[in-house]
Structure 1
Amino acid sequence: MSHIDGYNMMVVSQYFTSINDFIMLEFVNKKYRFNTEKFHTNPIPINYKTIKYFPKIETLNIWSILDETFGNNIFQNQQIYLSPKFDFFRINVWFEVNYTSTQTCKNTNVSFKNVIYTTTDGEKYGKKIPNNIKKIGDNYFKLVHFTSFQISQNVTSLGDNCFEECNLKLLKLPCNVYILGKNCFLNCRKLEAIESLTFVTEIGENCFCNCKHLSSVKFTENLCNLPNSCFECCKNLQEIAVPSRLHAIDDKLKFNNSIQDNKKCCIGDKAFRYCVSLKWFEIRGDVDEIGDKCFQYCDVLSHLEIPSSVSKLGNYCFNGCNSLSTLKLPVKLLIIPQMCFGECQKLQTICVPYGVTSIGCYCFNECITLQSVVISESVCHIGEGAFCHCESLKTIKIPSLIKEITSGCFKGCLSLDVVVPNTIITVQKNSFKNCRSVTYQNSKLF
């Protein structure tokens, strides 16, 4: 660290998050002494006690309504305590503030950097969005019956339910928009295309849910999440391009625009459920988990690539994917959950990788064309009905760690010839009902 000169260390210290960081820096090297005196604007929230470390401040930055304003009245009816007043050339307010608050502020040197235009603002000042707005508020255009709309270039965020149940056919987003809220385009059944998703980093749950005419969506490398039901019931969606470096962001720290990435990445529950026109999907990036019912009833999905980083699949994850014929399971997988591949009627072969310990209930139920199953020796439990009605399954080797054949496990496997190993202690009711041939302890049961 001592190789960094004083000026560049000042630049680095802009990303510190506490006053203690600045204090400790002073002890690292003599050339870093008086570092805080070089700042003309505070890089962290300060109060009457810590402002002394920044004696040359001209511009005050405020990141929270709880931050000290040093006797400056910013909001109407704001309670000002009997404390010394500090005058600043400018006061920057970085947290979200509604438009009405900006219009009632009488302090002319205050600059609001993150203004939201709410439904209440619209009733008071008109529906037209002012130019200085950064976010369009929740429910703002909900149920409004226009067919096209162009958003101001200054807008960076769309609130929850912002365009819910609109008659939009085409929406052109400015390049600055990076957040689409929950239910943002929910039930926009006529929406066919959204242009300029270039800088979108985050979409909310149910964002495009039930957009039945949306056929193609292309995100660039900036997208960091695919949350619950984000494209559920997009029945005309044939193509979706997602980033190669998909990752999840837990909290975006407002201090110094820094971002901490400390959350596992997952594709959410029901994210693509009932996308009945989706034929091809490649999951890329550092995805750790694919949620419950994520691709359920994607009838024509025939090609799916799962990255090796995936360690968990949700219940009913690929249930009813009737066109899926083959799939390579990731090596980090520990459990194949219940009904994960149930009713995948064209699935012909599956290899359970070493490391998997459990195959869930009805996991491959009614996979009627499944012919080949290779189960690794690490598997110690197979749930009820796991291979029920796999009518084309001819042979299967049961791993030695399994001690019990559960109820209905191979029921209705009409083509199955199976030798039950001597390591099996319990065979439950209907485990091999209607199988072609079952041999147990050197005796052919049927």
Structure 2
Amino acid sequence: MTRKNLAFIIVLPLLLLENSMAKMIVDCRVVTGGITECNPYSHKFIKAKEIKYKKDRQKLIVAKTLPVPPKTSIKVISVEDMIEKYLKINESVRFRGTRAVPVSIASSNTQEMKKERMYSRIERLKIQRKALLKKMQKIKEERERKNKEALKIAKEKEVKKKKTLKPAEKQVTQGGYYVIEKGDSLSTIAAKFGIKTSTLRALNHLKKSAAIHIGKKLVIPYSQKRIDTLAKAEYIVERGDSLGSIAREFNLSSRMIIKLNKLKKNSPIRIGQKILLPLPYILAKKKAEQKRLLAKQAKEKAKKEKLAKAKLKKRKKYTYESKMIRSFGKRKLRVTATAYSSHSRQTDKTPFLAAWNNRLRPGMKIIAVSRDMLTRYGLRNGSKVRIGGLSGYYTVRDKMNKRFRRRIDIYMGTNRRRALRWGRRSVIIYW
């Protein structure tokens, strides 16, 4: 008998015994109402793990049987047990109608106590309300008393004001109107008519911070004719008027009227003639205009003097330079001068290399001359020249094409804009 057969004979009875024992307990999947215990495992399961080895490795254990986990028992609770433990049944809320409900003696006592408390609260509230009404009445009476006192004081003040009003303020109903113009303010208008600013504000019921607008009418305590005369500072002569009477009417000096109107001392005046009045605001305006005119003239004079000085300085400089240029050298020649820079469009492929293998650098004062000036006029490589209109000495370091005659090119370094601005000019050179 082999080893495998022997193991099978030993294990088989054990399995059958376990199975018969498991059948005595009902399976949990088919639990009914009367069963209190069930078996979650209807069959025994052996948990095993197979170990695999790599190739050419000695095998120690082919398979290993692991211990079976312990069984768990499940207790089955019936529906009745659940109802008794977890379910609570209360009385249903229903409308009972108008049926008389029997009241016990204890409940009637509690209701009476509640009523007593309620009545005591109501009485307390009534007392509080009465006290509050009395307080409000007192406050109202006090306020009315204060208002009456304030009105009485205000009336007394008005009566005092009426008694102390000036004659000019009393004539408001007989006064005229002044239409506000551009540049006017309450102070200037008051000064124009010889009244105080506070009086003008009071007549027109204006606050201290109130603004005035162009075209608005202001009440002035004078007749409309006088208002127009003072506003324009012009008086039209009427029958019986003289310079003295006009001066007295407007509180002015007759000498000032004669001076302002450029009249003679004993010259007569005609009816309908316009007489300018030297009122304070007119004199102030004329004074300000005169001051402004003098300042303008002084400014123009200073400007002219400055220009004259600049011209003189320029002339002196020009004469000095011309003298310096004329004193330099023995020969002079008028030539056409152009300007060039070290750019490919204005020179050849070697912008910093000139004739006679001369090296050019920006900032050097160098000129290129035409061939005839070298052969005919005696200029050479390295000759020093002076150019009219330019300061300093220029050195001949380059020569031009054969086709040019009496021409020079002035080197401007890398400043192409300066070269273009110079353009072409006729200049005198000295050497």
| Higher RCO (C-alpha under 8 Å, 6+ residues apart) | 2
Q: TM-score higher than 0.5 here?
A: no
If the length of structure 1 is used for normalisation, what is the TM-score?
0.18
Greater radius of gyration (CA): 2
**Which structure dedicates a bigger proportion of its chain to strand?**
1
**Which structure dedicates a bigger proportion of its chain to helix?**
2
If the length of structure 2 is used for normalisation, what is the TM-score?
0.18
